[in-house]
Structure 1
């Protein structure tokens, strides 16, 4: 099957590549200039300068200067565009032309281009569904710790945080820790993990250095993307290796658990590096690396999930209520649920009394690792067969730890996800194939783990016998019932 897909892709590539020499007469032309803001004459960095009708483009630097080199024919038109300013076109007639462009600012952008609504580029106002968009400028200026956290500030989006490394966007009011019907795409590739059935947050997604835009469809997108998008969709687009070249680095450092109540104050750090390079505007590559490490928050709620359980557990003994309830099922303790209920019969106050008691179980803090990490690597190779036809290969790798919450909590340890993508993209079509490879590593479900640890220390019957013997001894010695229960458990 793999050979068949390769053949389907190679045949059009060879056919199109054979036509490439037809443009050999185009000369290698170099143009440069400066972009200013109209009125203030201040240099404008980050302006996109592209050749109209082609795929050639660069960005202006911090001084507003740019240099573009490509195989072109005079005359050609340059398009200058940046969010917050009116786009401008300039015809270049010869290589001696001095280029100094002034862009006029505008108050709002009403013609933003989106691609997630109908799978093709269209105006935001013409989209058949509601679209919320974070562009590169909004991402750069967001006060959130990362662009992924910034999604919580988007209209109609709620973010559920199960772990530092595991955040789940929700729309349409489905505020749950595992949104199975919310699709997350990165450059058109579905990031859903096969084992859990949901994307692992941004575990293998782009870093802040490589993200170009995020489009959120808060309504149902199932008509175009299937049932997995019935609760909405997020489409993450990365930067072009041809347009955004060079080396970028960032280092983020913070501190959490500053109150020292549940855990000691800990350092939270994230490092990211991006490098991209293009060669004669024909071939380009990019590499991304990021590493996050920190200490996760502690869930240690010791509230009984069934506060009225005294009525069903041991209703005749008021002293066995609240924290002294021997059949309590605590929120963040595992192995003490209904399946661990053990009836214990002892002689008490001259008669045989049967008490409902549950196994002791294990607290969550003793079953999970507080240290979490997320390592991400990705790269891409891009080759322009013609000005409007590009062949690319992309690879993503992510390794993460964290907590995934469903009915039970799952400790994710050394989970790895890989993604391979091969794409042939034209002006108004594309052919794309991708595969996702996942390994859950040493992950485990906390509740079955605690139940099996209990059974490893003896069956419920054997544990109940030991408990009954100690409880009878304590009661015979005159110990009050609540204290006797605690001593028997110890």
Structure 2
């Protein structure tokens, strides 16, 4: 750890016992340099060094070296396919790019969870956690939380054959998204309608009233922006949470230090999940078969991960189509217009007329909680078309194989006299293939055979690396050089180097310097998605998916500015709509973005790690990094103008007046959200510092601080590529397993600064927040029994870790663990 050439953070067994977090996965939030956001009580997202989002495809999670991502998402669903608290041994986190060695799109970092080997940890252990959350929650009452885990390991043949099994059953009530701040407060500013009088209001945690669900209605000679009424998130989802996990492993030792293992993992999930939209995961299933051979010379792994989204559904599409299922937008707009006209003719003020019009247009609207509402919700949940329903029906597989050979170790074991002892040589290769069963809504095969809905979509990547290392001057200097090459479908071969140096004047003082680069190839969703969501078609950025769209579209940001100017000139300038369109058509900006390329990062890191004081009980770790991104992958929303006959209007065969007229009307444009690459120069830099001090009497104190800064030279593009990272964050901790006899405690305090959050749902500032977590423990040796009474967010101060997500309060629990420690 002291001589690692890059920053490495580790949670060992002692740290995990001291943490007041309810699970090892929750404890990662207190690790130096790590940011965790919480879309759900059962789903947390790990990130490091910026550009965080709810589906972090730039950070990789491994369990015993096996990637535990959900294939079609390209990122893990929290710890859904990971180990239980009873089986976790250590957590190791590498903040920053690790692509040169791992090649798994790990350009922001990776976490490797190491589980307990059944040869070393034998026996039966049981753990029960019981808790409560949602105290003083305005949206609901107090709810119970329960997690039951069991682990059993047995050596069948001494030092030859062993197995283990784990199972976990978790139930609870999820955190509720209840932020009703209007994110379209100026939608009718030109008519003086604000606040509750704004007919285009769009509360954050409400669906069916987003920008794509609004219409421009001409009422009384003025243009008003009017949204459908929409439904609150808690009306269209079930917040009951359930996770069932099980895994088993069979280990066989071929020789000393050489072990063959087969592992099977299964998880069934019911909770709220978030990516570009919020989803209710229902009967969502993941399973993984893994085979590994580990020895000091050779490491080989092969695994298959299977994903089935079950009966999951999109909450935004559910809200939109609940509204449209009883009355189409066209009919609703007609009813609204007629009612507004009648109300104003009867002498009602404009704002009151809008309220009257909405009440009339909403007549017959399905009301939450009624049998009719519940029946319609169940119907839409099973319609796999987001223009009419809300179902998420995806089946996908990930097949992966990798091998690594420690050439230097092989020569040393053969006692080869010609091989220098100061030299290390390592080589490895890997192959990965994604397979998706096209569902006709979310994924379509761009190169189908006879049937585009039955021919599976495949996406593959192959790579390899060689690494040389040298130990010089009595091991005071360690140098490594790594070269990696990767070939991905639809892209040419890419090369990544890594150079590192560690200088250790003494064993206690270690200075490190590294330079490395990394490529991130588009995920399945970024490359191949093809789904309508809120009357906007979200399309993968590969040419095979979006051919012709980039060349003929206009940036939505410019279209919004154009239409706002047109509306202002009509409402306050006295122009006709035709005159206003002609006047403002110069505001329209042609989409200059194009088809996806791999994302590329160059990273430089400096660090110092030392074990101080005479007894080495004070550990200091400092790092600084600077990252430069090229072709940063993000999304742009762009609309294509179409004629009355449905043909695309291009600048080569029509004039700008016709294009502007089409883009001023909702019915004469095709709307797209496209994955593409930023043209801006994107840089970020930062650093972190950590102190861990072991005091007399077994007390362990810690303090960490993390700084992250975005330095982005923008060119006014319309990309959504939020940094989503607080500039400052710090952690303080204090704990002792035996503060008094068998009583122990652990305290963690975390604070992070306000930051700007830019997501697919909403943009804005996340207020600064702090958390105090605490636990008291009592341990018995005979029988082996441990009690832990703990709380996260002890003071129950509700906060949002990102905009569009849930409000997070306190969780209070008692954990009782019996058996092996």
- Normalised TM-score (structure 1): 0.70
Q: In 2 relative to 1, CA 354–130 (structure 1 residues): closer, same or farther, beyond 3 Å?
A: closer
Q: Summarize the alignment of residues 404-483 of structure 1 with structure 2, pairs less than 5 Å apart.
A: 404-483=273-352
Structure 2: how far apart are the matches of 1:160 and 1:346? 44
Q: Secondary structure at the match of 1:126?
A: coil
2:184 aligned residue: 306
Task: Give the alignment partner of residue 280 of structure 1, picking from 127, 152, 157.
Answer: 157
Q: Secondary structure at the match of 2:24?
A: coil
Query: Which shifted more, 418-427 or 130-139?
Result: 418-427
1:293 aligned residue: 171
Shift of 1:227: 4.9
Which whole-Å deviations, capped at 9, do the CAs of 1:429-455 have from their partners, x for residues lacking one? 222211100011112222233333333
Shift of 1:353: 4.4
Q: Summarize the alignment of residues 204-243 of structure 1 with structure 2, pairs less than 5 Å apart.
A: 204-243=81-120
Q: In 2 relative to 1, CA 341–174 (structure 1 residues): closer, same or farther, beyond 3 Å?
A: closer
2:212 aligned residue: 339
Structure 1: how far apart are the matches of 2:214 and 2:15? 54
Q: Summarize the alignment of residues 27-176 of structure 1 with structure 2, pairs less than 5 Å apart.
A: 124-176=1-53
Shift of 1:355: 2.9
Structure 2: how far apart are the matches of 1:400 and 1:263? 22
1:78 aligned residue: none
Task: Give the alignment partner of residue 328 of structure 1, picking from 201, 204, 210.
Answer: 201
Residue 356 of structure 2 corresponds to residue 356 of structure 1: no
Q: Secondary structure at the match of 1:271?
A: strand
2:74 aligned residue: 197
Q: Secondary structure at the match of 2:52?
A: coil
Query: Which shifted more, 383-392 or 371-380?
Result: 383-392
Q: In 2 relative to 1, CA 395–344 (structure 1 residues): closer, same or farther, beyond 3 Å?
A: same
**Taking CA–CA contacts closer than 8 Å with sequence separation of 6 or more, which of the two structures ends up with the larger relative contact order?**
2
Q: Secondary structure at the match of 2:105?
A: helix
Shift of 1:399: 1.1
Which whole-Å deviations, capped at 9, do the CAs of 1:217-248 have from their partners, x for residues lacking one? 01211111115110000000000101111110
Structure 1: how far apart are the matches of 2:49 and 2:148? 34
1:16 aligned residue: none
Answer whether contact 2:188 2:225 (CA < 8 A) is retained: no
Query: Which shifted more, 405-414 or 224-233?
Result: 405-414
Structure 2: how far apart are the matches of 1:389 and 1:453? 58
Answer whether contact 1:192 1:200 (CA < 8 A) is retained: yes
Residue 263 of structure 2 corresponds to residue 386 of structure 1: no
Structure 1: how far apart are the matches of 2:330 and 2:118? 65
Structure 2: how far apart are the matches of 1:277 and 1:407? 44
Structure 2: how far apart are the matches of 1:174 and 1:339? 26
Which whole-Å deviations, capped at 9, do the CAs of 1:320-341 have from their partners, x for residues lacking one? 2111100122211111122222
Answer whether contact 1:342 1:461 (CA < 8 A) is retained: no
Residue ranges of structure 1 left out of the alignment (5+ in a row): 1-123
1:373 aligned residue: 242
Structure 2: how far apart are the matches of 1:478 and 1:301? 35
State the Cα RMSD in Å: 1.7
Structure 1: how far apart are the matches of 2:240 and 2:7? 39
Structure 2: how far apart are the matches of 1:136 and 1:486? 60
Shift of 1:354: 4.3
Q: Secondary structure at the match of 1:236?
A: strand
Shift of 1:342: 2.4
Answer whether contact 2:239 2:272 (CA < 8 A) is retained: no
Q: Summarize the alignment of residues 392-403 of structure 1 with structure 2, pairs less than 5 Å apart.
A: 392-403=261-272
Which whole-Å deviations, capped at 9, do the CAs of 1:389-438 have from their partners, x for residues lacking one? 32221000011122222332222222111000112222332222111000
1:245 aligned residue: 122
Which whole-Å deviations, capped at 9, do the CAs of 1:10-64 have from their partners, x for residues lacking one? xxxxxxxxxxxxxxxxxxxxxxxxxxxxxxxxxxxxxxxxxxxxxxxxxxxxxxx
Answer whether contact 2:60 2:104 (CA < 8 A) is retained: no
Answer whether contact 2:188 2:224 (CA < 8 A) is retained: no
Shift of 1:367: 1.5
Q: Secondary structure at the match of 1:235?
A: strand
Structure 2: how far apart are the matches of 1:260 and 1:332? 16
Structure 1: how far apart are the matches of 2:256 and 2:289? 25
Shift of 1:169: 0.8
Answer whether contact 2:184 2:200 (CA < 8 A) is retained: no
Answer whether contact 2:63 2:113 (CA < 8 A) is retained: yes
- Normalised TM-score (structure 2): 0.42
Shift of 1:346: 4.5
Structure 2: how far apart are the matches of 1:195 and 1:359? 32
Answer whether contact 1:343 1:464 (CA < 8 A) is retained: no
Structure 2: how far apart are the matches of 1:386 and 1:396? 26
Answer whether contact 1:470 1:488 (CA < 8 A) is retained: yes
Shift of 1:173: 2.5
Answer whether contact 2:340 2:354 (CA < 8 A) is retained: yes
Structure 2: how far apart are the matches of 1:485 and 1:449? 25
Q: Secondary structure at the match of 1:229?
A: coil
Structure 1 stretches of at least 4 aligned residues deviating more than 6 Å after TM superposition: none
Structure 2: how far apart are the matches of 1:353 and 1:305? 23
2:139 aligned residue: 262
